[in-house]
Amino acid sequence: MLPFGATMVPNGVNFSVYSSASTSCALVLFERGEDEPFAEIPFPEEFRIGNVYCMIVFDLDFERLEYGYRMDGPYDSANGYRFDKTKILSDPYAKAIGGRDTWMAPPNWDNIYPFRSRLVFEDFDWEEDRPLQIPIEDLIIYEMHVRSFTMHPSSGAKYKGTFAGIREKIPYLKELGVNCVELMPIYEFDEWEHSKLHPDTGEQLVNYWGYSTLNFFSPKAGYAASGKFGMQVDELKTLIKHLHEHDIEVFLDVVFNHTAEGDHRGPTISFKGIDNKTYYMLTPEGYYFNFSGTGNTLNCNNPVVRNMVLDCLRYWAAEYHIDGFRFDLAAILGRAPDGSPLNNPPLLESLAFDPVLANCKLIAEAWDAGGLYQVGNFPAYGRWAEWNGKYRDHLRKYLKGEPGLVGDLAQAIQGSPWLYPTRGTTAGVNFITCHDGFTLYDLFAYNQKHNDANGENGNDGGNDNESWNCGCEGETDDAAINALRQRQIKNALTLILVSQGVPMIYMGDEMGRTQHGNNNTYCHDNELNWLNWDLLEKNAGLFAYAKHMIAFRKAHPALRNRDHFTYTDPQQTGYADITFHGVKPFECDYSSGSRVFAWMLNGNYAKNGTTTDDYIYIATNMYHEGVTLELPVLPQGRSWYVSANTGIGSGECCFATGTEPLVTNIQQFMLGPYSAIVLLGR
């Protein structure tokens, strides 16, 4: 009977599907690509055990088969039933979905079964591969969109916009130095969903980002160069295997909060027709709760759905060797079927303690579209990390010179101990930009969003960007403004990469990628999203700086503690593990008007005292004028050396190991306006 889904058995296939309220079910079989099924086999009543339909069918062509289910039962939407035997339904446990095999290939809109369940072979040759298990505090996460990464003509990739394209760019990722890629959704979705033409420009707008899942077990075929041949599973597994060979972990951005079936007006693709009341949170009137902002909400704490989510993640961990998962709008996963937040959400607990997922990193986007904001208090069970939205907000404000932020910055760079007092530094994923919102370049080039290209009259995208255009909205020839923007991007990269916690960088920020002020590019299959690799040359200094700071973080364990600082000096070295400073040593100015903040890490307490490192001093100045710093005196025999100084106007502002210039006057170190320095004491 189990497992659910279609499982190959000797000479046949075992089909198993759950439905609690249907009255009957038929298995519908298609030859791949044919309009009409070649067989429709009702499940005999004796083949229904409990709420599971199950039977084995022999002599099927595994490779050419497409299958679905036809469920009969009541259509009574007020009571949550939406059975419709005219529909052929995708298997929730299908391992591949046909119908969108090639990205944006025009579909047959009259297809009686547009999203077809398929079988996959589980014989991939992983050789010695296994998940890397890099300690989470040592990760540097690079969030990326599969298609955007290599689709631009400048990428030089042979297989543009695909898993194979990413594989071609592994040398770039190695050069940059990141050791984890987080792939925006790769579960099968329909890029044509809600597609439309821009009312003014006529441009085709699509479901580009893919935060709308059709099937949780299937990789997106349109992201595979070989998808048209049905080989997307092999292509994705090969990518993961090769990334692992280069010591790069793979995280998936998973969307379990809703599906592509929308609300009562949306299509019936799978879950609605199989067991609507089980899979979705419904209002007492039978409508869909909409905590996701997209029409429906998956009923994740129903035991059947909970098991599906668990089965799904185990499958990706076991069969695809995935290293970690980032859960989109994860606060929803803690809601009861009636929508209320649970004190002890069963799904989150189950995921935390699941034996198969024991070595997978679990990261929550700890809020949802229904107003539940759980940054700092997401039910963690000692396992979950969170996207630290407060880190993002505070750093953005500090970087643009808002007053009263020094205290918040001090918290942020320590791994937010007030936010995560018992969970350690690794509870927080530190980021300033991600796919939602401005790119890092745009953060310092635009005061307001410019979303006209989305065709929603500017009503989409957040308005709380905390951005600053540095004196001119958008592109400018003003050299001073452009220099300031470059400096601010470097300041931001500096802070992310010297903060305790887990840093995350968004694709292209290391080379100054722009979306021209658009802070919600979910619908654009064009250069607004595609990474323009020519920027590597245009912004070579920026890229060099990003590489330097990533290498710096990897070289210095003092930046990668797992536990919070103790502010003590048990080894009696003369300094606590961390000390705070202003323009004068040990005199940090937390007043509302202060915009200077510095801190020093004592290398004797690197990795919470388990190893040793140099002393590290970081200072930031967000005044519009330069300041003169007096540096802390180092223990006998040590001197300060400049590893990075974003305030150096032109030329080299970062220095490789062994080439760092000596600081000759620690009484008077000039730090420029809107600048940061990173010093090494050795």
Partner 1 sequence: MGFNITSEIIEGVAKLTLSGSLDSSSASMMQTEIQKVATQAPIALVLYVSELEFMASAGLRMLIFAKQKLGTAVQIYIVQPQGQIVDTLQMTGIIHSVHIVDNYPA
Beta strand ranges found along 262-323 (DSSP E): none
> Which of 365, 442, 525, 614 does the annotation list as catalytic?
365
- Please work out, in degrees rounded to the nearest 5, the angle formed at the alpha carbon of residue 46 by the alpha carbons of 40 and 47: 55
From 56-64, 359-367, 452-460, 465-473, give the range in contact with partner 1 by CB under 8 A: 56-64
Cβ-based nearer residue to partner 1, 60 or 631: 60
Residue 616 backbone class (left: φ over 0; alpha: ψ -120 to 50; beta: rest): beta
Cβ-based nearer residue to partner 1, 239 or 300: 239
* Cα 350 from Cα 307, distance rounded (Å): 9
Residues in contact with partner 1, counted by CB under 8 A, come to a total of 27
- Considering only residues 587 through 646, tell me which ones interact with partner 1, judged by CB under 8 A: none
**Smallest distance from partner 1 to CB 234, Å:** 4
Q: Give which of 420, 339, 351 is closest to 386, Cα–Cα.
A: 420
Residue 262 backbone class (left: φ over 0; alpha: ψ -120 to 50; beta: rest): left
From 46-54, 230-238, 616-624, 669-677, give the range in contact with partner 1 by CB under 8 A: 230-238
**Smallest distance from partner 1 to CB 128, Å:** 10
- Considering only residues 341 through 380, tell me which ones interact with partner 1, judged by CB under 8 A: none
Pick one of 55, 132, 173, 225: the residue that binds partner 1 (CB under 8 A).
225
> Cα–Cα distances in Å, from 448 out to 437, 477, 492, 517, 639?
11, 20, 19, 7, 44
Classify residue 520 by burial, with Cβ atoms within 10 Å: 0-12, 13-18, 19+. buried
Query: Number of C-alpha atoms within 13 angstroms, CB side, residue 393?
Result: 10
Q: Is the peptide bond before 3 cis (omega within 30 degrees of 0)?
A: yes
Cβ-based nearer residue to partner 1, 231 or 555: 231
Tally DSSP H helices, then E strands, for the chain: 14, 30
Asked if 38 is part of the footprint of partner 1 (rule: CB under 8 A), the reply reads no
User: CB within 8 A of 409, min separation 6: which ones?
Assistant: 394, 395, 398, 495, 597, 620
Asked if 160 is part of the footprint of partner 1 (rule: CB under 8 A), the reply reads no
Asked if 235 is part of the footprint of partner 1 (rule: CB under 8 A), the reply reads yes
Interaction pattern, residues 175-214, with partner 1; x per rule: CB under 8 A: ----------------------------------------
Asked if 229 is part of the footprint of partner 1 (rule: CB under 8 A), the reply reads yes
Count of other CB atoms within 10 angstroms of residue 243: 24
Interaction pattern, residues 59-78, with partner 1; x per rule: CB under 8 A: --xxxx--------------
From 156-164, 187-195, 520-528, 574-582, give the range in contact with partner 1 by CB under 8 A: 156-164
Pick one of 117, 155, 162, 515: the residue that binds partner 1 (CB under 8 A).
162
Asked if 418 is part of the footprint of partner 1 (rule: CB under 8 A), the reply reads no
Pick one of 241, 335, 400, 524: the residue that binds partner 1 (CB under 8 A).
241
**Smallest distance from partner 1 to CB 158, Å:** 8
Helix ranges (H only) for 320-429 are 346-353, 389-399, 406-413
Classify residue 373 by burial, with Cβ atoms within 10 Å: 0-12, 13-18, 19+. middle
**Smallest distance from partner 1 to CB 269, Å:** 24
From 1-9, 119-127, 415-423, 580-588, give the range in contact with partner 1 by CB under 8 A: 119-127
Cβ-based nearer residue to partner 1, 71 or 186: 186
Helix ranges (H only) for 69-160 are 146-151
* Cα 385 from Cα 562, distance rounded (Å): 12
User: Are the beta carbons of 370 and 291 closer than 8 angstroms?
Assistant: yes
Q: Is 456 a residue of the active site?
A: no
Asked if 45 is part of the footprint of partner 1 (rule: CB under 8 A), the reply reads no
From 158-166, 255-263, 273-281, 492-500, give the range in contact with partner 1 by CB under 8 A: 158-166
Cβ-based nearer residue to partner 1, 158 or 538: 158
List the beta bridge partners of residue 29. 39, 67
From 135-143, 154-162, 377-385, 386-394, give the range in contact with partner 1 by CB under 8 A: 154-162
Q: Is 338 a residue of the active site?
A: no
> Which of 66, 328, 466, 613 does the annotation list as catalytic?
328
List the beta bridge partners of residue 451. none
* Cα 347 from Cα 339, distance rounded (Å): 14
List the beta bridge partners of residue 502. 429
Asked if 226 is part of the footprint of partner 1 (rule: CB under 8 A), the reply reads yes
Q: Which residues would be at the binding site for partner 1 (CB under 8 A)? A: 61-64, 121, 123-125, 127, 158-159, 162, 164, 167, 224-226, 229-231, 234-235, 237-239, 241-242
**Residues tagged active-site:** 328, 365
